[in-house]
Amino acid sequence: MRRPLGIEWMKIRNYRTFWILLGIIIASIPAFNYMIFSFTNNQFPKNKRGVSPLGNPFSFPDAWHTISWFSSLLFVLPAILVITLTTNEFTFKTHRQNIIDGWSRNKYISVKLVGVLFLAVICTIVVLLTVLGFGYLGNKGPVNVSIWEGSRFLFFYFVEVLSYSMIAFVMAVLIKRSGLAIGIFLIYMIVEQAVMGILTNIYHLQAAQYLPEETTDRLIPLPFIQISDPAGWEHRIPGYLIAAAIYLIIYCVLTSRYFLKSDL
C-alpha cells in the first residue's frame, strides 16, 4: 500500500486546489473555535468571581467536547476536498488510465479509501492540537483534572468526520461530477435532518437516531447545556458507534463493488 499511496501523493502534491482546500481546513478549525471562544467569552455576563454562566467550555476537560462539536460543524470542508480529488479522476479519465497502466481496480479504490481515512486523521490531529492549544493557553478549569479526561470526544469527532467524508466519497464515486456531487451531498444532509425530525417528533420512531448522519451527530451532543439524560446517552454510545461502523462498511463495500463492476 505504501507504493500506491506514494503515487497518490505524486498526484496531489503539485495541485494548488488541494493545498488551498487543505489550508482552509487546517486554518478554519482553530479559527472557527477561536471565534466561538471569543464570542462566548465576551458576550455573556460574568458573575462576581468572573465566571461565565457557560462555565469554561474551552478549558480542560470541557474543551474536548466543545471543540470537537464546533469542529464537526465544518464537516463540509473535508467533504468538498474528498469530492474534488475523487471527481477530478473521473473528469480527466485518469481513473481509467491508472487501470490501463497496470493498477487493479481493487488497488485503485483501496488507495482512495485510505486517502479518505488519512484526511479524517489529519482533521482529527488539527482538532487535537486545537484542544491542546486552548486547553493549555487558557486553562481555567479544575486543576486536579487530567487533561485527557473527555478526550473520547476526539475519537467521536474522528468517527464523525470520517463518516461525513465517506458519504462524500460515495457521492463522488456514484455521481462523478464535482458540482453535482457537492450539491447532492449538501441536499442529503438537509433531507436526512428533515426526515429524522419527522420520524422522531411525529412518529416517535427512536430508530431515526441511527440514520447515517444522525448516529454520528449524537456521539457529540450540543455543548454548553447539560445533557438531558446523561446515563441514557452513555448507554447509547456503543449503539451509535456500531451503527457508524456498519455504515462505514456499507460505504466501502458500495463504492468498491460499484467501481469493480462498472465500465470505466
| Residues at the site binding another protein, with contacts judged by CB under 8 A | 3, 6-7, 10-11, 14-17, 88, 92-94, 96-105, 107, 261-264
Nearest CB to another protein, comparing residues 17 and 201: 17
Grid coordinates standing for 18?
A: 488541494
Nearest-approach distance from CB 103 to another protein, in angstroms: 6
Nearest-approach distance from CB 260 to another protein, in angstroms: 9
Nearest to 181 by CA among 248, 73, 90: 90
Nearest CB to another protein, comparing residues 12 and 132: 12
Whole-angstrom CA distances from 23 to 122, 168, 222, 255 are: 11, 19, 27, 27
Nearest CB to another protein, comparing residues 39 and 258: 258
Nearest-approach distance from CB 84 to another protein, in angstroms: 11
Nearest CB to another protein, comparing residues 48 and 261: 261
The tally of CA atoms less than 13 A away on the side-chain side of residue 242 is 5
Nearest CB to another protein, comparing residues 144 and 263: 263
Nearest-approach distance from CB 250 to another protein, in angstroms: 23
15: left (phi over 0), alpha (psi -120 to 50) or beta: beta
Cα-Cα-Cα-Cα dihedral sign, residues 39, 40, 41, 44? positive
CA 263 – CA 26 distance, rounded (Å): 37
Nearest-approach distance from CB 179 to another protein, in angstroms: 17
Nearest-approach distance from CB 94 to another protein, in angstroms: 5
Nearest-approach distance from CB 110 to another protein, in angstroms: 13
Nearest CB to another protein, comparing residues 16 and 49: 16
CA 222 – CA 10 distance, rounded (Å): 40
Burial degree of 94 (CB within 10 A; 0-12, 13-18, 19+) = middle
Query: Helix %, strand %, coil % for the chain, to 5?
Result: 75, 0, 25
Nearest CB to another protein, comparing residues 107 and 152: 107
4: left (phi over 0), alpha (psi -120 to 50) or beta: alpha
Grid coordinates standing for 23?
A: 489550508
